[in-house]
Structure 1
Amino acid sequence: MTLDQYNEAVKGILAEQQKIAQSTAQLAMSGQANPANPEFARIMSSQWALVQQIAKLNTDLMLGIMAPKK
């Protein structure tokens, strides 16, 4: 993975997190943002998956597991 690919991956993750934030805000305003709501649980699972993806990307970056730009 090059640094450009890393940056693109992070941008995609951040865009997805923005969508999750909007969905969560809508549920919160309607009083449905609670663990008993299956939609809220699905959204939180998606958020956790994104956190794990970005943690892996950051770990790879810190460990220098990046290919040189060609």
Structure 2
Amino acid sequence: MTLNEYTEAANAIYMEQQNITQELSKLALSARALPTDPEFLSLMSRQWELVQRLASLNTQLMLGIMVVPKE
């Protein structure tokens, strides 16, 4: 993985995070942001997946699992 690929992957995760945030805001405004709501649970599951993906990306970055881009 190159640093550019890392940046692209991180940006995709952050964009998905923004989508989740907007959906959660809508649920909160409609008083449906409750642990018993299936849509809320789905959003929280998606959020947890993003956290795991970001942790994996950051671990790769910290361990230096990057390659020099071929020019």
Query: Structure 2: which 5+ residue stretches go unaligned?
Result: none
The aligned residue for residue 7 of structure 1 is 7
1:69, distance to aligned residue in structure 2 (A): 1.2
1:11, distance to aligned residue in structure 2 (A): 0.4
Calculate the TM-score normalised by the size of structure 1.
0.98
The aligned residue for residue 31 of structure 2 is 31
Alignment of 1:38-49 (within 5 A): 38-49=38-49
| Aligned CA-pair RMSD | 0.4
Aligned mates of 1:11, 1:30 — CA distance in 2: 29
The aligned residue for residue 18 of structure 2 is 18
1:45, distance to aligned residue in structure 2 (A): 0.2
Aligned mates of 1:35, 1:7 — CA distance in 2: 33
Calculate the TM-score normalised by the size of structure 2.
0.97
Aligned mates of 2:67, 2:7 — CA distance in 1: 13
The aligned residue for residue 54 of structure 1 is 54
Moved over 4 A (4+): none
1:61, distance to aligned residue in structure 2 (A): 0.1
